[in-house]
Amino acid sequence: MINISIETTDYKHATFWAPKTKMTVDQDVKKPLDGLRALITGASKGIGREIAIALARNGAEVAINYRSSEGQAIDVARMVEESNISAWTYRADVSEYENVNEMKLFLTKYFGPIDILVNNAGINIDRMFKKMEPDQWGKVLNVNLTGVFNCTHIFLEQLIESKHGRIINISSIVGQMGNIGQVNYAASKAGIIGMTKALARELARDKVTVNAIAPGFIETDMVAGIPDKLKEKVLQNIPLGRFGQPDEIADAVVYLASPNASYITGHILNINGGMYL
Ligand code: NAD
């Protein structure tokens, strides 16, 4: 019988969640990410949520970053507790360098230095390019690409000092093949691919691996917004004949974060049902 209870200590933008009672089963089973700490950006819902839960199930302690949805972030922390793993939730906007720096100072003090950084936070503001306002271009680039710069730059020292430094960036199929109405999003996601490859080369000497995942269409709020007619059209172009699920991305993140992936760096892993080969 697993008995779980919750203990919380509130800080300004952060909450600590620790299971009070130890699990009575599987206690001695070694997990691939035991003893490691992971920060997942944008982890209150969708793909980030599943990544946080999957990393915790595989032994990593997790820091769940979110921008606004505190309630959803807390739900994720509750799910993490079910793996008998403690978690921090921390509110920070990844597009703000100072916000991310404050998050680092806080997490370093209360959580500890991280070993795994998952740059997942992302937004889309879709418009035909002709009608795209500079602000719509800027917002998407700031969150999706500068956000990856900010988090990676600020946590880099910790990742280099870790004996198991891993950076996993969430790009997109749209950064590889383009998409109508998503010039800003495509540019940001293609930028992540270039950044991943260049950084992999730079950090190889420090034994930090840098990889990206390029998901196809995954069933989250981001895809829920697509009109039904367009969804049908998209489905026709997916050889496996269905949209992906967030846990199918999370499983790949667990693999890339694990010791099994120690010789993989600079790789862009397509998880798209065969839509782009
Ligand atoms: P989602 O909208 O469900 O979740 C996005 C998350 O990012 C949310 O938790 C949100 O709060 C967070 N976020 C947004 N702006 C932020 C900011 N400034 N600071 C911190 N957090 C912020 O989307 P999702 O589908 O789960 O997408 C997750 C990632 O996967 C994104 O980078 C997205 O571009 C990418 N992706 C998604 C799909 C898909 O089909 N769903 C496909 C390819 C790539």
Domain ranges of the chain: 2-23+31-270
- Closest ligand 1 atom to residue 68 Cα is 11
Structure tokens at 55: 């990393």
Question: How far does the centroid of ligand 1 lie from the alpha carbon of residue 123, in Å?
Answer: 6
Structure tokens at 235: 């489905």
Cβ(65)–Cβ(40) under 8 Å? yes
Task: Report which of 96, 195, 196 is spatially closest to residue 143, judged by C-alpha positions.
Answer: 96
Task: Report which of 200, 185, 174 is spatially closest to residue 275, judged by C-alpha positions.
Answer: 174
- Whether 175 lines ligand 1, by a CB cut-off of 6 Å, is no
- Stretches in the chain below the pLDDT threshold 70: 1-12, 20-27
Note the pLDDT of residue 14: 84
- Whether 185 lines ligand 1, by a CB cut-off of 6 Å, is no
Note the pLDDT of residue 20: 58
Question: Which residue has its alpha carbon closest to ligand 1 atom 18?
Answer: 93
Three-state SS at 82: coil
Note the pLDDT of residue 223: 87
Q: Which residues contact 94 (CB under 8 A, 6 or more apart)?
A: 41, 42, 65, 67, 100, 119, 121, 143, 147, 148, 150, 151
Summarize pLDDT for 85-107 with one digit per residue, the tens: 999 999 999 999 999 999 999 99
- Whether 46 lines ligand 1, by a CB cut-off of 6 Å, is yes
Note the pLDDT of residue 186: 98
Question: How far does the centroid of ligand 1 lie from the alpha carbon of residue 184, in Å?
Answer: 15
Structural domain 2-23+31-270, CATH architecture: 3-Layer(aba) Sandwich (3.40)
Question: How far does the centroid of ligand 1 lie from the alpha carbon of residue 261, in Å?
Answer: 24
- Whether 176 lines ligand 1, by a CB cut-off of 6 Å, is no
